Amino acid sequence: MRIVVTYIRRVLKILRAEVLVLPSRVTVMVFAIALLALPLVTQDYYILRIMILTSIFAILAASWDLLSGFTGQMNFGHALFFGVAAYVTALLNLRLGLPPYFSIPLGAMGAVLTGLIVGIPCLRLKGSYLALTTLAFPIILMGLVFAFPGITGGELGLSGLTKLTGSRVMDYYVTTSLMLILGGVMWKITDSNTGVILHAIREDEVAARAAGINTTRYKLLAFCLSGFFAGIAGGLYAHFMRLAGPSTLEIGLSFQVIIWSVFGGMVSIYGPIAGVYILNPFMEVLRIILDNFPSLPEMRMFIFAALVLLTLRFMPEGLIPWLRDKVESECPRCKVRNVFFRRSCRICNADMT
């Protein structure tokens, strides 16, 4: 009992001292609570489907940020991890009858292996060469998918997988909880010593190597970690859609991930997650609005593209960092963030102006 009380006190203290003092953290907290409470407000199949897919893509976008944002390994073929995991998950489920709680982690391990396979040849490449090479891998795999239709189902893909869970609400809770947990884990990784090293590699790899860091190992680690998280997303997608097809490897998906991440704000983990949570439902809102104007449905993609372009024109670092900088400022002395109206730092009391 005493332990519980101690923990509650600790949580309350963290809440008071670390969360409630900053609008961005309060927003994250409210967002997480709202997400978990959504099925209490509505159990509309359509809304839950959109939110489930949004959670899955949020994991995917954050995993891209972990690799490309933090380590600077510009991956233009992130759908590779997603697709490999989707296919491995589907094969394990359909051929061996493994249930989702086994097939999804094993599918993610397949994506980790892919991360190693892709990572090794990519270690010596930088910039546009790396981007083009990574772009080629899902295309190669797509070729293999069509070359071995007996295994992969060819252009139809593999369908008829076991449902993720028995109900739409449970599907929602599984995907949303995993998004919150995995998003938190990815954020923690980037905030740890490993994250600092990944940052250092992106900023100046030669200097990082001169400081005694085995950059090869860390770059490979980033590929594998990113592959793992993207793989979980791929496995969830396969079981939710009950299909793993060529569309999971399409270039369009890889670019979509980049658009979400850049729109939300790279090098933050929460930026790409927010990007997906804004853009994905936004497309559906557009669908509903434009449904009332029979001649306008074709405008949906145009409005989407215009929104992204305008955001990047006026918020080059992405929407979320821009908003955060509006409501928070950094202490010039101790580098701790404070709410924008504070005149002195909440930690070191230095003058904020």
- Residues of this chain that interact with other proteins (CB under 8 A) are 44-46, 49-50, 53, 146, 149, 154-157, 159-160, 241-243, 245-247, 252, 283-284, 287-288, 291, 294, 297-298, 300
Handedness of CA 52, 79, 190, 282 (dihedral sign): negative
| Helix, strand, coil fractions of the chain, as percent rounded to 5 | 75, 5, 20
Cβ at position 290, least distance to other proteins in Å: 9
Cβ at position 38, least distance to other proteins in Å: 16
Cβ at position 275, least distance to other proteins in Å: 16
The letter for the amino acid at 219 is K
The pairing of beta strand 337-339 with beta strand 328-330: antiparallel
**Comparison of 227 and 245: residue with beta carbon closer to other proteins:** 245
Cβ at position 272, least distance to other proteins in Å: 17
**Comparison of 17 and 156: residue with beta carbon closer to other proteins:** 156
Q: Compute how many other C-beta atoms are within 10 angstroms of the C-beta atom of residue 185.
A: 15
Cβ at position 53, least distance to other proteins in Å: 5
**Comparison of 202 and 242: residue with beta carbon closer to other proteins:** 242
Token look-up 């002395």 returns 333
**Comparison of 161 and 352: residue with beta carbon closer to other proteins:** 161
**Comparison of 39 and 157: residue with beta carbon closer to other proteins:** 157
Contacts of 294 (CB under 8 A, 6+ apart): none
**Comparison of 14 and 301: residue with beta carbon closer to other proteins:** 301
**DSSP code of residue 164:** S
Handedness of CA 72, 76, 77, 82 (dihedral sign): positive
Distance CA 152, CA 244 (A): 9
Token reading at 199: 């940052």
Distance CA 78, CA 91 (A): 21
The answer to whether the beta carbons of residues 89 and 106 sit under 8 Å apart is yes
Cβ at position 245, least distance to other proteins in Å: 4
**Comparison of 157 and 271: residue with beta carbon closer to other proteins:** 157
Cβ at position 301, least distance to other proteins in Å: 8
